[in-house]
A and B are shown apart, each in its own frame.
Chain A
């Protein structure tokens, strides 16, 4: 069953703009992770945020986590055409040993 649900399902922006993707989940988590998938390829881990953290940065990526609302957001600043991909959030439930993925947001960055 899907734990995380991303929003929007698809996003199209111009190069240089910021892209924001949201993820909502249902149960208590140990951590939440964001992954990227280029067409026809495997998933690549981007960033992990733990339940006691509120914000994390990695390069042009910024992730926030609001456990009271059971939601997270991924912000990509100054987007590039190479950022075109699908982005997934995945949760590790409290006391769990598995990653449960949402259906993803398909991001298109137009040069």
Chain B
């Protein structure tokens, strides 16, 4: 397996534009997480899915953020409209739940978003 794949790796956009980040989790993993990383706030969990169903989106900062997982191999995180304070590195991670609990997470390489 190629691991968790995120695209694009870098995105520069103007304030007010729509941004879509994409993630392909590892096959067989039933949990998918979206994180945001900034210097000030560290790694923040935005939302996570179990078997393609959103379970907890309490970390999504505003209604401008939305996430979907239409199938087991694809998820998107959308920001509309984008603002400069959304600039951060966005990570997708996947793992599975064993009979002993949640296992280690596998992270993608991240998407570095810059909103100007």
A binding-site residues for B, Cβ under 8 Å: 2, 30-31, 33, 35, 41-45, 48, 50, 88, 90, 92, 96-104
Contact = CB atoms under 8 A, between A and B. Distances in A.
Contacts of B101: 30-31, 50, 92
Contacts of A31: 101-102
A98 B42 contact: no
B12 interface: no
Contacts of A42: 4, 91, 107-110
B48 A102 contact: no
A99 B102 contact: yes
Interface string B67-107: 00000000000000000000000010100010011111111
Nearest to B48: A98
Counting chain B CB atoms within 10 Å of each CB, the highest count among A33, A42, A48, A88 belongs to A42
A2 B42 CA distance: 9
- Chain A CB count within 10 A is highest, among B42, B102, B108, B110, for B102
B50 A97 contact: yes
Contacts, number: 59
B43 interface: yes
6 contacts: A43-B91, A44-B107, A99-B102, A101-B42, A102-B42, A104-B42
Residue of B31, B101, B109 with most partner-chain A CB within 10 A: B101
B101 to A, nearest CB: 4
A101 B104 contact: no
Contacts of B33: 98-99
A2 B45 CA distance: 10
Given A41-B109, A42-B109, A42-B110, A99 B103 contact: no
A35 B110 CA distance: 15
Interface string B1-30: 000100000000000000000000000000
Contacts of B105: 33, 43, 45, 90, 99
A43 B107 contact: yes
Contacts of B103: 48
Nearest to B9: A40
